[in-house]
Amino acid sequence: MRGIFYAAGSVKGFCTPALWAHGIVVSSAAPANAVPVAEYTVAVVVLWQKDFWRFMGKDYTAPRAVPGNYHRTIGIIGASLVGRETLRLLGSYDMDVLLADPFVTVEEAVRLGATKVELPELMAAADVVSLHAPNLPHLRHMIHAGLLARMKDGALFINTARGALVDEAALLAELQTGRISAVLDVTDPEPPVPDSPFWTLPNVIYTPHIAGSMADECHRMADFALDELDRFLTGEPLTYPVTEAMLATMA
């Protein structure tokens, strides 16, 4: 075996030390899977600022005071593949974008279309906070009560990453005050337990892990993997080679 060209996301399940010892090349289609997750995120951001869900089914007599998207502040947590694709898509809008990621420099954040800030500052300043960090053991409950308490009244929290990154008891406590709202594509456990308030709170929109590649979107990942194979066979550099060192910070 000379190479593995994985038409999906995480390769951690099969990337053993023996694989690296034999010099086997590994490529992941994670960049292709990042596309629909970022599209979901940006769609939520844009529709939320237009108060889309409140206006569903309403007529012209409904109060029409909505914030809109112009110069609203969007906070992106994590310059992961999904985070970076989300930043790229947000570049089409006149929004003020903040980025919190300890591995990104101020200069790189600017190139990505964002202003680098520390996580507490992002939580306090953003009208919408979107989580894109990897699901690693040391990041469990990285979004905790202290950070959630810093969010603006009326702000939105989006999680398309993993539920374990969030202290969901603390998130529920904030949501039950009605002070903030949430759009959750992931929870811990997943799905939420039957009696979870996530099912019934009016300020929570829960979707059953649909942000990632589904149906025809899976063809994008297959195309990516086949393109990587072609690059490998023709001696071209791979678009997304995975190295052993990368596994420490990958989901």
Q: Which two tokens stand for residue 227?
A: 């393109």
Find all residues with CB under 8 Å of 250, minimum gap 6, and list them.
Answer: 10, 11, 12, 134, 242
Which string of b and e fits 182-220 if b means at least 16 CB within 10 Å?
bbbbbbbeeebeeebebeebebbbbeebebbbeeeebeb
Length of the chain as a residue count: 251
Q: Report the candidate in 123, 36, 119 with the shortest Cα–Cα distance to residue 79.
A: 119
Distance CA 81, CA 106 (A): 18
Of 166, 162, 185, 164, the closest CA to residue 174 belongs to: 166
Determine whether 141 is an active site residue.
Answer: no
Choosing from 22, 54, 118, 190, the catalytic residue is 190
Q: Is 162 a catalytic residue?
A: yes
Q: Among the options 85, 162, 168, 174, which is catalytic?
A: 162
CA dist., res. 26 & res. 12, Å (int): 11
39/217 Cα distance (integer angstroms): 12
Catalytic-residue membership of 209: yes
Tell me if 100 sits within 8 A of 119, measured CB to CB.
Answer: yes
Name the residues annotated as catalytic: 162, 190, 209
